[in-house]
């Protein structure tokens, strides 16, 4: 049974979420603040974390950041829950590696569908991690260890950045629309919000360029379409 860590400082919300998750076949753990969430995630890693933004001790953004920086918890998918609907909060959450973002109040049916989609995508990514490796110029991807290297330096990629890079590198020159990327990487229709793709692409390019200036140019913007991967011959 898949375990989900529910992090919210409101007892009633935790109880509601845990009740519905258990009713749908999941095992749940609970944490009421950011520090407790980090400790629980490291000691008893769940398959997914539902993470409230407004938390005592450490807020949800800081918790997400620390989860993604820790090798023991970096690959745990995170769905952020918040009553705040400001775009900057959403962008920050996605930049820090959150897999989805749900604004309160939300319907339980919608939340459960997103939970299933994120878990499905996470399981598919884990199942495809034993395909060897790929080298394209100065870029090397090890699909067994789920690591990527540029110019000999390991890239500190979030799980979604890694999956994007793998999709591009294994489909060189093919142009993907933002909607296609949402479907393939996030595993479901992202309610028409394609900004998350642009956020992840921007950060992925920056990390490639930090390893070797100009390497981010391998991910090319295709006007009117989306993005494609092109081997930079002059690197």
pLDDT at 151: 82
Q: Which has more confidence, 46 or 122?
A: 46
pLDDT of residue 235: 40
Task: Tell me the mean pLDDT in the region 195-203.
Answer: 88
Cα gap 34→55, rounded to integer Å: 6
- Is pTM beyond 0.85? Reply is no
Per-residue pLDDT band for 208 (boundaries 50, 70, 90) equals very high
Backbone Cα Rg of the chain:
18
Q: Could you give phi then psi for residue 101, rounded to 5 degrees?
A: -150, 115
What confidence tier does 125 reach under pLDDT thresholds 50, 70, 90?
low
Contacts of residue 27, defined as CB under 8 A and 6 or more positions apart, other chains included, come to: 1, 2, 3, 4
Q: Which of 114-118, 119-123, 223-227 has the lowest mean pLDDT?
A: 119-123
Confidence of residue 32 (pLDDT cuts 50, 70, 90): very high
38 has pLDDT over 90? yes
């Amino acid at each position: 049974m898949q375990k989900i860590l529910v992090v919210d400082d409101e007892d009633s919300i935790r109880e509601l979420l845990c009740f519905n998750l258990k009713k749908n076949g999941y095992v749940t753990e609970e944490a009421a603040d950011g520090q407790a969430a980090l400790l629980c995630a490291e000691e008893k890693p769940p398959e997914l974390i539902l993470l409230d933004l407004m938390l005592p001790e450490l807020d949800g953004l800081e918790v997400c950041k620390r989860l993604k920086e820790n090798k023991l918890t970096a690959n745990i998918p995170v769905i952020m829950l918040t009553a705040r609907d400001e775009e900057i909060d959403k962008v920050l959450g996605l930049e820090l590696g959150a897999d989805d973002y749900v604004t309160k109040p939300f319907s339980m049916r919608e939340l459960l569908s997103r939970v299933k989609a994120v878990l499905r995508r996470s399981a598919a990514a884990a199942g495809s991690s034993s395909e060897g490796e790929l080298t394209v110029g100065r870029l090397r991807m090890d699909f067994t260890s789920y690591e990527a290297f540029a110019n000999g330096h390991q890239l500190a990629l979030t799980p979604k950045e890694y999956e994007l890079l793998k999709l591009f590198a294994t489909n060189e020159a093919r142009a993907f629309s933002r909607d296609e990327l949402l479907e393939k990487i996030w595993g479901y229709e992202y309610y028409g919000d394609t900004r998350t793709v642009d956020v992840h692409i921007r950060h992925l390019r920056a990390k490639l360029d930090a390893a070797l200036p100009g390497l981010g140019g391998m991910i090319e913007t295709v006007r009117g379409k989306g993005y494609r991967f092109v081997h930079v011959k002059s690197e």
